[in-house]
Amino acid sequence: MTIPLSQSTDPQAKAALGRLNQLKQQLNLTPSASSKQTVNDMNKERQAAEFNIQALATFWAGGEKAYTMRQNAYNLIKNDPELVVQPPRNFLELERTEFREFTMGQVFRLAKIASELGPEQKDYAYEIGHAIGIYSESFSMRFGVHILLFKNVINMLSNDEQRNYWLPLVEEMRIIGCFAMTELGHSSALRGLETTATYDIDADEFVIDSPTVTSSKFWIGMAGQSATHTVVIAQTIINGKNKGLNWFVVQLRDVKTGELMPNVIAGDIGSKVGHQGLDNGWIQFRKTRIPRSQLLAKWVSLDRDGTFHHAPNPVMMYATLIPERLSLVNGMTLMTTQALTIASRYGVVRRQGAKNQQIMDYQSHYVKLVPAITFMYMIQASFETLDAQFAVLTGGGGIDDEMVYLNHMGDLHAISACLKGLVGWYCSDILETCRRSCGGHAYSAYNAIGHIMNDWGVFTTGGGDNVVLLQQTTKILRFRLEQQLEQDIYPDLKFKSSTHYILNAKSYLEKPSWSLDPEHLNDCLKDFSLITDALYSILVKRLYSIHQAIKEGATENDLLLESVKAGELHCAAFLFEDNAQRFGRVKPHTLDSSVVNIMHRLTGLWGLHVLHTYSDQGYKEGFFTPAHVTGIEKLYLKACKDLRYQIIGLTDAWAYPDFVLKAPIGKYDGDIYEAYFDTILQAPNSTGVPAYHDKYIKPLTERQAK
């Protein structure tokens, strides 16, 4: 359910309420002792929190102002039928065509609200959009394609004149943009892209062409039905020579009629596993002509006489992939925290077993959920560091210093790539854990976890395949390690790199094993540097082993899985060290002390989780003994148990209203069973004789016995 039917003024909703009450009278349903118990259980769990939940919620949101603004945004959208599906309709039952239209309606409504609020309330308009995106991942993707991908390419790769022309159109949504990178036969393997942009010197125009079926731009969000313009990456042909990949702005549709432009063919790719509200499409360019001025010319340029000026480095053309990955990680965090909230609330009110205990009390339950919740907090806190680093790369919006860009591009590529890979895979496991944690009720579409999992599927490949991204991270780490060990070279950066530990690579390689006695492993929860020392020692040793194997003749493919594991570990270690700096060594005085305390405990648990999960890597290098591995597991399980009664407080701090979660079994007050049954009773055709009775059932049941 979204909002209680009794609060709605919609005639359909009132009629639905009448039907619901009539059905309940016929069924003569009364609350059971179990229903009352669920509310009591939820209250006790909430009271068990050893920290100020409101203060943690404020921290999670990014401060008091951000928290208040988000709650105001939730309150604004929840009763708006153009933004939130109102009963008796259910968001989780929308058909594809209906979903496509509703999602575009959300975009339209947001644009109208933003216009009414005006530029002085730009932050609030953004927060309203963020709230809608949390409610609907399809909206998040649809709006994100325009405002993040399309806008970011123009913002980061245009010259001043181009930016001044295009950005006002984008920001006011007088044009609607998409991001035409992937192709049917090439996905994100950019070197093999087939779309061409050939310069016609006589006409002073580029001719954009899709010469083959496999060169069709494919999976392009917003291209199916709604985008008027796109940014296209294409092989650039000038005077018969390929000058590499560059970005161009191309108009797809007439802004007034919606009809496709001449020599552009595009369509919707149809039904997908998830994101049915997003019109992913395909595009073919049939010698489409655009002015030379629509080559994005921040780092490249083309003179009228055909003289082409290359970028200082080809990687500059891929700058927008970093914010894309970071935005994907943010989206994955929002989806996973919703599933975790639902599973956690169900886990503390559902009782089962010989002693009728809460299922959350089973070790198999809390040991899976507590580290997953912890992971979310590690990512969220570290986004402050990542945002600051990205600001260095972009100079606050426009990349103006070539050397700053080139010196920092590799580092940010490494951390954004492995973060997307680790989050994508671990959160896939978390979602499956949430599904299993809710038993059979997770199979109901009305409890939202299935919907989240369907929307999730794209994230393991969209924005770059996780295997490839993690391998790329490890290649960068190996390059930095080789430079440090053989030439004593490390780049001069304006921020603390995620690879900073490589500066001490020689000392890490000299350590034969973890100096911490297995009998005193508890010390590492008091002194986080003991965990950091172990993680960095293992990482350097593994990277060195891979590097040596390559030098001795092994191929990259021979060591692919080891490289992927090293990339994961690098990311996990970054999250630990970044949070250890905040909550383990330097007291952040601006935060509530109870928030600092719980974040310190979560950071310690994350460190143990990483040691436990990647203990095989330490064992391979002889850094961990069997006693270390056994001791780490024992301490890890204890730390999970110690946080068992903090679960509801931790998930409450994400501050999702019931209408956003959509799941009756995830209700804030714990009164799940009546809400669940009410939802079922409101389902279309949930009672009565089915329309197909006379056609298929009656002919069977009225037959005479032979």
Binding residues for FAD: 182, 221
Q: Which of 469, 483, 624, 608 is nearest to 542 (CA)?
A: 624
How many Å apart are CA 342 and CA 668, to the nearest integer?
A: 9
Q: Is 699 exposed, middle or buried (CB count within 10 Å of its CB: 0-12, 13-18, 19+)?
A: exposed
Q: Is 611 left (phi over 0), alpha (psi -120 to 50) or beta?
A: alpha
256's tokens: 């007034």
Whether 486 contacts 512, CB under 8 Å: no
Q: How far from each other are the two terminal CA atoms of the chain, in whole angstroms?
A: 49
Contact call for residues 539 and 511 (beta carbons, < 8 A): no
Q: Kindly tell me the sign of the dihedral angle through the C-alpha atoms of 70, 75, 80, 85.
A: positive
What is the helix, strand, coil percentage profile of the chain, to 5?
60, 10, 30
Environment class of residue 131 by beta-carbon count within 10 Å: exposed (0-12), middle (13-18) or buried (19+)?
buried
Give the alpha-carbon dihedral of 461, 464, 467, 471, to 10 degrees: -170
For the record, the structure tokens of 3 come out as 């909002």
Among the listed residues 321, 589, 330, 586, the one whose alpha carbon sits nearest the alpha carbon of residue 464: 321
- For residue 423, give every residue at least 6 positions away whose Cβ sits within 8 Å of its Cβ, in sequence order, or none: 329, 332, 333, 379
CB 223 within 8 A of CB 238: no
41: nearest Cα among 443, 336, 361? 361
Burial class (CB in 10 A: 0-12, 13-18, 19+), 684: exposed
Binding-site residue set = 182, 221
3-state class of 220 per DSSP? strand
The bridge status of strand 281-285 relative to strand 264-268 is antiparallel
Rounded Cα gap, residues 577 and 574, in angstroms: 5
- Coil, helix or strand for 399? coil
| Core vs surface per residue 560-584: b (16+ CB within 10 A) or e | eebbbbbbbbbbbbbbbbbbbbbbb
Those residues whose C-beta lies under 8 Å from the C-beta of residue 136, and which sit 6 or more positions away, are 91, 103, 106, 277
HEC profile for 672-685?
HHHHHHHHHHCCCC
Where would I find the H helices in 275-320? none
Q: Residue 131 has which token pair?
A: 């709230």
Query: HEC string of 545-595?
Result: HHHHHHHCCCCCCCCHHHHHHHHHHHHHHHHHHHHHHHHHHCCCCCCCHHH
Total Cβ atoms within 10 A of residue 513:
14
